[in-house]
Amino acid sequence: MKRRIWSCLLAVMLLFGAAAAEEVSNSAGKAETDQTGETAIDPVPVLELPELTRGRLVEIPVDQDSMEISIPPKDECYLYGDGGENPTGYADPSLTVNLGWGRIYDTNYVYARVKIASPSQLRTLLASPLKASYTTEGHKLAKRVNAVIAINGDFCGGDDVKRGALMRQGEFLRKRCNGQLDMLVIDKAGDFHLLLNGTEKDVQALEKDAVNIFTFGPALVADGEALYDRTRPNLAPNKPAQRMAICQTGPCEYMMITSEGPEDPGSEGLNIRQFVELVSSFKDVKQAYNLDGGSSSTMVFRKGEDNWKKINAPNNKKIRPLKDIIYFASGWEP
């Protein structure tokens, strides 16, 4: 009798899972908006790092040229949670990625949960020197450095370069701040520090341990609390748009989330308050920071040998060249 009951329950679970898979990958979380406008999130989990049974873990120097020491992702480490042709995750002893998809306020979004063995695996790359105007597509930048997954940065060659501090891989590109913008500092431990209306004094206090500093914003979540009152010049907070955020969820654990916009078929786009609501609905988010949005919103994931592709907004063929990327690199040599 117990076996019959268990078999029936298992059949129901499998039937439910098959129905859900038509809309979202089995490995992906879903988000629905109820009649009150609140968001119910069933997120994909952070994947734990597999045990190191062969090879070695490599510590990547912060100031080392990323193109000189990049370690390619391994084809056998890609995960196919939905049984389809496209991977929904990645797992080697140094790095895991788990992708999720959802929809809120008539807008699609995609997010990636990342766990790394060493903080040095969270890295940045410029398309060209700060004062140069050269940009290139995100998937090409990701391929240069064998990124497992990458997103756009703060477009550090834009107007905001004149208003806040910038650092890439331990090198200051600019120290001057006017106190009008929120900044994100990532330190040597891979921890996020949000500087609300950051000043030069604020930057100096963290300068010794800083590895990367971004100026765009605003801050979305600070110490687990949603920030609905933050703004920045030219933000257009009420305008529905594509959005991009990078978040810290724990020690060496991160989440990147991007929403579609009005240019993407089937999506309305999110204003900044709706985006804060979405990001803060993931209850493990400790710190979250808004990056360059609009058509710059780019998430790149490697899909097979020499095949890096933008995976967000798949129904929009427009690809805007980027000035910089934030990416996660493998640190495992078999």
Task: Tell me how many helices (H) and strands (E) the chain has.
Answer: 5, 23
For the entire predicted model, the pTM comes to 0.87
Per-residue pLDDT at 196 exceeds 60: yes
Contacts of 14 (CB under 8 A, 6+ apart): none
Which of 30-44, 106-120, 285-299 has the weakest average pLDDT? 30-44
Phi, psi of 200 (to 5 degrees): -60, -35
What residue spans of 126-265 are helical by DSSP H? Answer: 138-144, 200-206
DSSP structure string for 93-155: TTEEEEEEEEEETTEEEEEEEEEESSGGGEEEEESS-TT----B-HHHHHHHTT-SEEEE---
| Greater pLDDT, 16 or 244 | 244
pLDDT tens-digit series, residues 285-331: 999 999 999 999 999 997 766 689 999 999 988 899 999 999 999 99
CA 185/CA 192 separation, integer angstroms? 6
pLDDT value for 89: 96
pLDDT, the chain, mean: 86
Which of 27-41, 104-118, 132-146, 259-273 has the weakest average pLDDT? 27-41
| Greater pLDDT, 11 or 51 | 51
CA 117/CA 119 separation, integer angstroms? 7
Count how many residues are written for the chain.
Answer: 334
Mean pLDDT of 81-96: 90
Per-residue pLDDT at 195 exceeds 90: yes
Mean pLDDT of 134-153: 94
Contacts of 271 (CB under 8 A, 6+ apart): 237, 238, 239, 240, 241
Per-residue pLDDT at 19 exceeds 70: no
Identify any residues that bridge with 192 across adjacent strands, giving them in sequence order: 186
